Structure 1
Amino acid sequence: MRNINRIKVIGILSVLLAVSILAISVWSGRGNDSTPNSPEAAVDHADTKQENAAQDTAASVQAGPLSEEYVKVAENDRLILYLKEANLAIRLIEKQSGYVWNSVIEDKDSQDNEAWKNFMASGLSIDYFKKDIPEPSQTDLLSETNKTIAVTKTKDGFSAKIDFNDLKIGLELDVKLGDGELLVNIPNKSIRETPDFELASVYAYPFLGATKRGEIPGYMFVPDGSGALINLNDNKGKFKLPFEAEIYGANDGIDAVHRDLLRNQPYSVQFPVFGIVHGVREHGMFGVVENGQFNAKIVAYPNGVNTQYNWVTAQYSARESYLQPTSRAMGGIIVHEKDRNPEDIQTRYFFLNGKEADYIGMAKTYQNYLQKRGDLVRQTGLNSRIPIQLDILGAESKNGLFFKQMVEMTTVEQLKAIVADMKSNGIGNPTIVYKGWNKGGLSGTSPSDVKIEKKLGSAAAFKQLIAEFKQQGTPLYFYDDFTTAYGDASRFSARTEAAKKVDKTVLEIPTFKDVYESYYYMSADKSASIVDQNISKYAKQGIGNLAVGNTGSILFSEWDDSRIKFRVNTANSYMDMMRRLSEQTDSVVLYSPNDYMLKYADKVLDVPMHSSQYIYTSETVPFVQMLLKGYKDYFAPYTNFLANSKDELLRMIEYGAYPSYYLTYESSYKLKFTNSDDVYTSAYQDWKEEMAASYQTLDEVLSSVRNATIEDRIVPAKGIVKIMYSNGKEIIVNYTGSDYSDDEGSVPAKGFKVIEVKR
């Protein structure tokens, strides 16, 4: 069964639960049994035999020899590109190594059904909607007999005009070589369709780099949490479902919102990347979804899930199905979006060799890519001591007899006392985020006005706090959020200013709390208006530093008057908002930002330190940390919320992450009847000793690599990890219960060691 955007039917809760927990969906049946036509040739075949003779010996295990059907269409200093017109299959040959990357699987001995064989042997596959039929159908270049493919050579590759004639759907596929890269592009303007048949989604070269069973050692890389690997093993059918994750998380503007079904949700994909390694540090392919990422998924199929092949790719969505309510009793019909996602589609593939051909090389490649894009800038002039980040809760609210009552957790004077005591206990270089400082406290008032909650201190006291912290060199950030809103907020009307889902219902999210039972997402226009109003108000209050909540990581489609605003529109609006904020304030920090928000984040908070631990995942890796180290200070999730603080401390050392805490001056017991009742332990007095001890330990080791980048990571034995830094330092972490020794010395159980490596 083929992987498509499953229809989300709200009434079938058991199905939703299973799908949500696994963050994957079932592969639905493919099209009819057919053979392709022979398209008219538009490529010069003159040198085919000569090139084939040269490449027979260069072909990798994955590819096999080139047939005469493959024609060279482009070549540069690093790559040669071949094309087979009948199915638009391509092969790339790396000139230095002679390694061959094949884009299709043409296995005559395969036991797969005809639909799967056709899909695997096609360079391009589409899903489409038939008029008045909500369930998408699928086809590809082999299954569809009545098609036309017109190929034209270009300077660096080729352009293929494809028409599925019976469906009256057409598009253009442009493929070209870059400097050691392959670019695959489908311009949105090239897509042709009619109301009778409309495009649903596209796969372009999904089997590029695919391997069979465990014939080639290596792994697939997926951007799940901090990063995860899926080994290229012969799994003997033990895995039944693939990895499938929407880039930038679920689209609440379309998907049914069931927050209660998942207490521990899978990590969101923050970076639109994927990869596969053929032989660790031998050959690797790394894909970056450059266009179309706002409506795309990363898909990875381990061997045994439907076929005997391992493959990883991006699936691009043009439009999706959803339940359109027809009554207040939640009756409805399944329909699909009439407007097509306006994004172009483009994936850039990098080919890695030797020591660069692993997930570390992928992280470095992406780091260079984001540097060139201007999203990452190398850090300089850092404090010699490591930073520690504290979210300090000022005030919350609870239900009273007639009105909401304030619950003061940390006043201005108490905040000063906490920071002073921390410094006296040897904790240096703190970054403070003051939450719930607005009038009305943290929950229920967003979008809050830029007004001080007087029960925490006077306006003069707040200005004095800002001045004192600035003089001390202690960054003080004031928390705000430009995405979520509550019905009680004075600056927000749910009826007119909440975002509407594509089914035209209000985008409301349940909290499962007693004080405020739900919240809303503001329309992007409303969010922009709040930002514009707040900028001048921040200046009047002397607020120069902002910590922005959900806006850096939440993304949704919305219905606006008579049309759909897609996620790309929301992202563009958010980026414009953050640009204005970063220009008008001294500093901005973001929580778990998506890649397009990195440029606006001076520091990155709540960085994932784990993956979602799917059953087919073989290892969690610090891809995100390798990407950020030396470019952004990044902080782990709150240490006082972790179950195993000892192992998490070791993980912070391994990942080069700085600590964070969620703290209050008063006991967390006072939060029992508020929307923050899940904060079980937060009193500074309860954590001060552990904080001081943990900080001293982390500072001892991570201060030595404060200005360095991560250059390598190896696992010499189970539970032992070595991290190599650009400044010649090496950190060995021992997660096991026994001492570990090698040529570089001994590392105690549940301990670490810093080594100066001579180079």
Structure 2
Amino acid sequence: MRILRSKKLFMVAAICVISASTLSSFIFAKSISTDKKQTETQTTQTTTQTEPKTVPQTNTTKAVTPAKSNGKLPDENQFQRIAENEKLLLKADKTSGHFTVTSKTTGEVWRSFPNPKDWQDKLNTDAWKMHLASPFMFRYVEFNLRKDLLKETNFYAQKGGISQFEVTDQGFKVVYDMPDLGFIIPVEVKLGEDFVETKVLAEGLVDEKVIPKEEPAAATVDKDGKEVKKPKAKKDPMARLASIRLFPFLGAQTSNDEDGFLYIPDGPGALIDFRERRAGTQNLYTERVYGDDWAYSNRNTLSDRNPITMPVFGIKSNKQALLGVITEGEEYANVVAAPSGSFSQFNWVTPEYQYRFKFFQPTDTKKQNGYLTYSKEITKSDHATRYYMIEETNEEISYVTLAERYRELLMKESGMKPLEGEQAKLRLQLHFLGGDTEDGFLWDSYLPLTTTKKAEEIVQELSALGVDKMDITYLGWQNDGYSKFGGDFPVPDKLGGDQGMKKFTDFAHSKGYTVYLDASSYTYNRGGKDGFRKNRDGLRDLASSVIESMNWDSRRKTFVSPKFMKGVIEGDLQEAKSLGINGYLYGQGIGTFLNTDFNENYPTTREQSKEIQKQLFEKTKATFGSVKGERGNAYTLPYISHMDNMASNFSYDLFVDRVVPFAQIALHGLTTYSFEYANLSDDYANNFLKGIEYGAVPSFVVTNASSQELLKSLSLHEFYSTNYKDWLDEIVSQYQKYEEALGDVQNEFITGHREMVSGVFETTYSNGKQVIVNYNDKDVRVDNSVVKAKDYIVSKGGA
């Protein structure tokens, strides 16, 4: 009995000790928690006042608490006020980095995550629930496992956490840490006057996990005395970052009310409409800004879509819209978009920032055998996108609204100005094909197609027929003709020589016409002219192979290193100027292609290639007073007087619902543009109507020689109908029709565009003029007018 009592006393005493210990621990923990909250508050206040300019560095040894979403969207009620201005209010969630932007005038809310209003679990797979809730998705490669395979994941799936969150005067900075992979992603969000800017910072970005070497453990034995082998350490997968989609579902919406669209920069522009009953597919639009990089082309499939020439995209839903403009690092970015039903219940569009690229690594000297892998070195640069908030006011938001906003940015940010004076006059774009090389049995010979003397006669004939405004561009003027590359000067004697070209230019000027030389040939070299040596001066890929492009006739031409090309062009500018020309027309590798160069003599990043091209446009304009571009990228726009061969159609993706003139709406009134040569079009009538609808100017390519003569050259297969006599009446007729319809609106902005009824489109200009085009095979009545089949009407204004 005494023993029992003593046991009870012992138990009571033990319980008291444990309770006291627990109570003191609770008080201590509470104190720490309170102190931590006070410290966080003080840190936030101090950060706001000091406005730090550098990205906070994460202590990699510090344990990071994994953020949790459980496939649920963040709770907006927990968001904190971060920054505001007269128009917008920015709030953010410190546990995820997600944010909202609210309009102070209408109350419209834009979210960095999908709109939770119509969220339905059953319409999203478990994997996509986590994608949709995450602040970013990313792809990575494991070099020690499958070096040619990308893995797609997200912040939550990798048990990531936030190691630092700072409030700045304009927004906030957040550092995402994923210890399992060793990835640290620093992100900055800023509020602007009418936009929010999101940025992945290069400084502080880490994508390499440091795995400490393990000390050899002492041998152990089991109960029977046998040695137990230590299990082998897991192989380091060498995970490395390939791409990031930051806040990929910013503005994402369902198709429940079908009142919206995604805008993608395909061709002139394309829309993916919100459709509730769209067939479920795995369709995804993904295309690289400024096109493929030839340095990674070997054994890789190049895109057959139109390259993206403008780094813009958009999404519209109900009374709000977003115009996304990639402002930093766009040369290393893709635009990605998917309609609802493809992967989730949401429509979304986003940039994807690229850090590593797939290429072919040869394993023999002939470079025939090898394997595909990703580049080991990371491409580090800041990647930023501005999302311009557009809300409905007096008129419904449309693709025109987005294009008009981009036009404003081109004027404000790029310095483009409305056309005036002679620049605002509609001019026929006439291209002469000068000459080429005729393939011979033993040796080749020069093949003249339009000598400068004959060109003068053709121009005189067009002038007499009433074509009083004309820009003339000479193709194939260079030494040895159109398909020869390198050593462009002097102009071949059989074409007229330098003297003949100068005489022709003087004649054209006396008529009020301008003359340009096509300078696209500088992109390539074949044969060693200009001091070019293929193995020394050619563009090289990451495997150090010289990059060549093969024509349809199996003849190769070598891409020239951008730095070498720049020197050749700059050396030729003064000789070209002595001919009295008005400028160069740049295309292909100058303004259109954007390539990395791994040539050790001329190492050049894709970003540096862009700068070289900009410098060439700028210097050429300074030399001649004018420069033209052919299908040029957005960075060429501040310099050009005309855009040649601009895309007028999209890439025919099945999920695209409509093609729209977004690019033309943005550019009309700031520069002139033309589409493919009318006489080489697959559909001459529709090509003409498209030009009238989109506000273009007429464009033809002609020769004095018969089309049969061109067959003597294996390189001119694309020029199948060029004899000017066959097209003389059409050239004059088209010019007169364009002049009558659009002659007085070249300096006017396009302010409206819509499909009135099926196959009938209306374009409205800022001076009130309206052009209605009917693509149908029968007459159509619209309002009080009848538009004949395959025809158009023009009115001075008033719908």
Tell me the TM-score normalized by structure 1: 0.87
Amino acid at match of 2:474: Y
Of the three residues 260, 271, 274, the one matched with 1:232 is: 274
The CA RMSD measured in Å over matched residues stands at 2.5
Of the three residues 248, 252, 257, the one matched with 1:206 is: 248
Aligned to 1:154: 168
Q: What are the residue-to-residue correspondences of 1:157-196 with 2, within 5 Å? A: 157-194=171-208, 196=238
Q: What are the residue-to-residue correspondences of 1:223-622 with 2, within 5 Å? A: 223-256=265-298, 265-279=304-318, 282-327=319-364, 328=366, 330-354=368-392, 355=395, 357-382=397-422, 386-444=426-484, 446-481=485-520, 483-491=522-530, 492-513=532-553, 517-550=555-588, 551-561=590-600, 565-622=604-661
Aligned to 1:735: 775
Q: How far apart, in 2, do the equivalents of 1:338 and 1:655 lie? A: 45
Q: Which runs of 5+ in 1 are unaligned?
A: 1-39, 47-62
Tell me the TM-score normalized by structure 2: 0.83
Whether contact under 8 Å (2:583, 2:621) holds in the other structure is: no
Q: What are the residue-to-residue correspondences of 1:609-688 with 2, within 5 Å? A: 609-672=648-711, 673-688=713-728
Query: Is 1:137 aligned to residue 146 of structure 2?
Result: no
Q: How far apart, in 2, do the equivalents of 1:616 and 1:136 lie? A: 25
Task: Give, in angstroms, the shift of residue 461 of structure 1.
Answer: 2.2
Task: Give, in angstroms, the shift of residue 285 of structure 1.
Answer: 0.6
Equivalent pairs counted in the alignment come to: 696
Task: Give, in angstroms, the shift of residue 674 of structure 1.
Answer: 2.5
Task: Give, in angstroms, the shift of residue 88 of structure 1.
Answer: 2.0
Give the secondary structure class of the aligned counterpart of 1:376. Answer: coil
Amino acid at match of 1:531: I
Task: Give, in angstroms, the shift of residue 385 of structure 1.
Answer: 5.5
Give the secondary structure class of the aligned counterpart of 1:382. Answer: helix
Task: Give, in angstroms, the shift of residue 138 of structure 1.
Answer: 3.5
Whether contact under 8 Å (1:88, 1:122) holds in the other structure is: no
User: Percent identity between the aligned chains?
Assistant: 25
Task: Give, in angstroms, the shift of residue 178 of structure 1.
Answer: 0.3
Q: Structure 1, residues 355-391: CA drift from partner, whole Å, max 9, x if none?
A: 3732111111111111112342111113775211112
Q: How far apart, in 1, do the equivalents of 2:581 and 2:419 lie? A: 24
Q: How far apart, in 2, do the equivalents of 1:668 and 1:613 lie? A: 31
Q: Structure 1, residues 464-507: CA drift from partner, whole Å, max 9, x if none?
A: 11211122211011111265223224222211111001221111
Give the secondary structure class of the aligned counterpart of 2:752. Answer: strand
Q: How far apart, in 1, do the equivalents of 2:278 and 2:756 lie? A: 28
Q: How far apart, in 2, do the equivalents of 1:698 and 1:653 lie? A: 7
Q: Structure 1 residues 44 and 137, CA, compared in 2 at 3 Å: closer, same or farther?
A: farther
Of the three residues 99, 106, 127, the one matched with 1:115 is: 127
Amino acid at match of 1:448: G
Q: Structure 1, residues 508-563: CA drift from partner, whole Å, max 9, x if none?
A: 1111216xx12121111111111221122223444442112311101111213299
Q: How far apart, in 2, do the equivalents of 1:43 and 1:366 lie? A: 40
Q: Bigger CA drift: 736-745 or 614-623?
A: 736-745
Task: Give, in angstroms, the shift of residue 428 of structure 1.
Answer: 2.6
Q: Structure 1, residues 699-752: CA drift from partner, whole Å, max 9, x if none?
A: 111113232110111222111211111112111112223333344533222222
Q: How far apart, in 1, do the equivalents of 2:277 and 2:601 lie? A: 49
Q: Structure 1 residues 536 and 695, CA, compared in 2 at 3 Å: closer, same or farther?
A: closer
Q: Structure 1 residues 626 and 271, CA, compared in 2 at 3 Å: closer, same or farther?
A: same
Which of the pair has more CA radius of gyration?
2
Q: Structure 1, residues 425-483: CA drift from partner, whole Å, max 9, x if none?
A: 22231111011112211112x22332011001143322211211122211011111265
Q: Structure 1 residues 647 and 146, CA, compared in 2 at 3 Å: closer, same or farther?
A: closer
Q: Bigger CA drift: 230-239 or 169-178?
A: 230-239
Whether contact under 8 Å (1:87, 1:141) holds in the other structure is: no
Task: Give, in angstroms, the shift of residue 344 of structure 1.
Answer: 0.8
Amino acid at match of 1:528: K
Q: Structure 1 residues 680 and 560, CA, compared in 2 at 3 Å: closer, same or farther?
A: same
Aligned to 2:140: 128
Q: How far apart, in 2, do the equivalents of 1:97 and 1:429 lie? A: 49
Aligned to 1:49: none
Amino acid at match of 1:162: Y
Give the secondary structure class of the aligned counterpart of 1:256. Answer: coil
Q: How far apart, in 2, do the equivalents of 1:95 and 1:483 lie? A: 53
Q: Structure 1 residues 383 and 291, CA, compared in 2 at 3 Å: closer, same or farther?
A: closer
Q: How far apart, in 2, do the equivalents of 1:750 and 1:661 lie? A: 21
Q: Which runs of 5+ in 2 are unaligned?
A: 1-35, 45-71, 210-237
Whether contact under 8 Å (1:430, 1:474) holds in the other structure is: yes
Task: Give, in angstroms, the shift of residue 605 of structure 1.
Answer: 0.6
Task: Give, in angstroms, the shift of residue 45 of structure 1.
Answer: 14
Task: Give, in angstroms, the shift of residue 111 of structure 1.
Answer: 4.3
**Greater than 6 Å deviation, 4+ residue runs:** 43-46
